A and B are shown apart, each in its own frame.
Chain A
Amino acid sequence: MIEAYLIHLLIIIGIYIILSTSLNLAIGYTGLLNLGHVAFFGIGAYVSTLLSINTDLPFLVVFILAGLFTSIFGYLLMLATNKLRGDYLALATLGFNFVIYSLFLNWTSLTRGPLGIPGIPKPSIFGFVFQSNLSYLIFVAVIAFLVVGFLHLLLKSSYGKLLEAVRDNELACKVLGKNTFKMKWQAMAVSAFFAGIAGSLYAHYITFIDPSSFSLYEIILILTIVLVGGLATLKGSIAATVIILLIPEVLRFFALPSSILGPARQIIYALLLILILMYRPRGLFGKVDLG
């Protein structure tokens, strides 16, 4: 019993590590305050779900397609918001999130709206079906490891340094002849790709998705993780994911009804977000300020 609960927690942590490190790529390293990350997460989840239910494509193909499809949205979002910075960009991307959310909710012929889509198949790779949660945990862990490894190498490379240069002074980069728009959309597309595959992992784990999993509240959770961990640090995001996801689990030991548990979790996250901004704006290991 306690084992199953631990495995569940670890799977969720794995998925959120992918989400938070990929968001940190956009916010922390590239300086794009993207509040639409949850929309990417949702697009990945819906695309993966719809493809695996309506087509015979093997899971790995569906998985990659979910990521690629989402990264197209990342490109389009950046294309639309290229001129915006700081709080403008935050608002526009928040808007993107609401638009995608209302599409999930209202495009009922495709998404079944608020009813959600049940019966999403467990993934299978080369004939092996990830039926047990333990096997799924290993799968998620491998993917999370690959994502973090990729991001680590990318951000250590000269390309990663260029992204940070775009964050620190976009104009100077332009003067030096760099195509900053290209760097920004590439960063956003990579970030979206990983959010998309995280969505796919989530959908095939829970085997049911509905729009409420991708609402404003989810943004607060991921944003809190990234800010608590600190900007421009993968280590911080990983540590913060574990801490932030474990904190509300303490509430479970008080045997509270779910009508209290839900809001209490959100209150904890929101308070944490406000307090970290006020008293420790660089989080655990952050290198730069939000702005």
Chain B
Amino acid sequence: MIVVQLLINGIIAGSIYALVAVGFSLIYATNRFVHFAHGAFVTVSAYLIYTFFTLWGLNFYFSALLTIIVAGFLGWLVYKLVYMPLKKRKASNAVLLVASVGILILLENLMLLIFGADVKSVGFIQIRKGIEVLGGIITPLQIVIVVLVIILLLILWFFMKKSRLGKTMRAVADNPNLANIIGINAKRVCYLSFIIGTALAGIAGILVALEQNIEPIMGTGLMIKGFTGAIIGGVTSVPGSILGSYLLGLVENFGIWFLPSGYKDAIAFVLLFLFLLFKPTGILGLRGKYKEQKL
């Protein structure tokens, strides 16, 4: 059953995209600039887990924890060193976007320089024969990934809805000036959401490293997907970006019914293009309230 297989592939791809997208979306919602280098942090994290677990032989769960912490720290560092000075200078969003593309290229090439161009694999879980579900095939690892992502997304949703910090973040996302007036330290919230967003990229990196081979240039592709998912769903809305990511995963997997699989990236970008032109607020994005909340 090819339909079931494509559906399964779409959901697996969508889960990874969703994890990339929520981090990106969290950063965008509070900071209001396109952090295109987000994808590079996924790559860096994949190499971190490879270093900690495969090269140094540390315990896997400890390695994973360390990866997430280091990723969050790197995010903080980049924010402190590059974005914060630019924001202080009141640089335009276009400048921040170009700078973030620069960071993406910088990090990708650092990985290339340190680890070389050949693919690496973490090899924590042996690739086992897939299980048949309604005629489609899914490996146990993929089931773990999908379940883990869904649990994570639920925790994140709960965190954003119920916790104090989550509420503060949504307040800053909704109206940074008003948030400042009622005594919320918007700058601190921006920092924190950047760190949390990057830590989420760290988790995405670990899962990607388990599922596929690690390459220095994989971040750009993942960024395009996560970013597109976020835009489709509405970038300022975390649930929206989750919805958009799964939608994208399904569309591109069903799309290769008609097109060669090499066009996957192109499908994503055509979708992105269409949404930017005709519905920049996305499916669940805030509408009309504040103009700058588009995108």
Interchain CB contact under 8 A, A86 and B92: yes
Interchain CB contact under 8 A, B93 and A98: no
* Residues in chain B near residue A269, CB distance under 8 A: 105
Interchain CB contact under 8 A, A99 and B269: yes
By beta carbon, the residue of chain B nearest A271 is B106
A121: Cβ under 8 A from any B Cβ: no
Interface string of A230-255 (1 = CB under 8 A from B): 00000000000000000000000000
Among A76-84, A158-166, A170-178, A190-198, the one that faces the other chain is A76-84
Interface string of A263-286 (1 = CB under 8 A from B): 110110111011001100100000
Q: Which of B101, B117, B224 is in CB contact (< 8 Å) with A220?
A: B101
B111 to chain A minimum Cβ distance, whole angstroms, is 9
By beta carbon, the residue of chain A nearest B269 is A95
| CA of A157 to CA of B8, assembled, Å | 60
Contact A277 to B101, CB < 8 A, known contacts A102-B263, A106-B260, A263-B109: no
B97: Cβ under 8 A from any A Cβ: yes
| CA of A33 to CA of B98, assembled, Å | 10
Q: Which of A103, A220, A290 is in CB contact (< 8 Å) with B102?
A: A220
* Residues in chain A near residue B270, CB distance under 8 A: 95, 99
Give the residue among A223, A260, A263 with the most B Cβ atoms within 10 A.
A263
Interchain CB contact under 8 A, B97 and A267: no
Where chain B touches its partner, the secondary structure class is helix
A87: Cβ under 8 A from any B Cβ: yes
| CA of A220 to CA of B37, assembled, Å | 13
Where chain A touches its partner, the secondary structure class is helix
A244 to chain B minimum Cβ distance, whole angstroms, is 14
A227: Cβ under 8 A from any B Cβ: yes
Contact A88 to B280, CB < 8 A, known contacts A95-B269, A98-B224, A260-B113: yes
* Residues in chain B near residue A217, CB distance under 8 A: 105
| CA of A197 to CA of B93, assembled, Å | 32
Interchain CB contact under 8 A, B266 and A102: yes
A275 to chain B minimum Cβ distance, whole angstroms, is 9
Interface string of B95-126 (1 = CB under 8 A from A): 11111011101101110110011000000000
Contact A291 to B105, CB < 8 A, known contacts A80-B273, A91-B272: no
A220 to chain B minimum Cβ distance, whole angstroms, is 5
B295: Cβ under 8 A from any A Cβ: yes
* Residues in chain A near residue B93, CB distance under 8 A: 86-87, 291
* Residues in chain B near residue A270, CB distance under 8 A: 102-103, 105-106, 109
Give the residue among B106, B112, B265 with the most A Cβ atoms within 10 A.
B106
Q: How big is the A interface, by class? A: 35 or more
B101 to chain A minimum Cβ distance, whole angstroms, is 7
Interchain CB contact under 8 A, B266 and A98: yes
Contact A84 to B103, CB < 8 A, known contacts A90-B94, A289-B92, A290-B94: no
A183: Cβ under 8 A from any B Cβ: no
Contact A87 to B97, CB < 8 A, known contacts A267-B110, A267-B113: yes
B164 to chain A minimum Cβ distance, whole angstroms, is 31
A96: Cβ under 8 A from any B Cβ: yes
Q: Which of B33, B106, B263, B276 is in CB contact (< 8 Å) with A92?
A: B276
Interchain CB contact under 8 A, B92 and A290: yes
Interchain CB contact under 8 A, B34 and A87: yes
| CA of A264 to CA of B97, assembled, Å | 22
A291 to chain B minimum Cβ distance, whole angstroms, is 3
A54: Cβ under 8 A from any B Cβ: no
Interchain CB contact under 8 A, A274 and B92: no
A86 to chain B minimum Cβ distance, whole angstroms, is 5
* Residues in chain A near residue B130, CB distance under 8 A: none
Interface string of B226-239 (1 = CB under 8 A from A): 00000000000000
* Residues in chain A near residue B105, CB distance under 8 A: 216-217, 220, 266, 269-270
7 A-B pairs with C-beta separation under 8 A: A86-B92, A95-B270, A99-B270, A105-B262, A220-B101, A260-B113, A271-B106
**Beyond known contacts A92-B273, A223-B98, A278-B99: 20 more, CB 8 A cutoff:** A33-B98, A80-B273, A86-B92, A87-B92, A88-B294, A90-B98, A94-B101, A96-B273, A98-B224, A102-B265, A103-B266, A216-B101, A216-B220, A264-B109, A264-B113, A271-B106, A273-B102, A274-B102, A281-B89, A291-B95
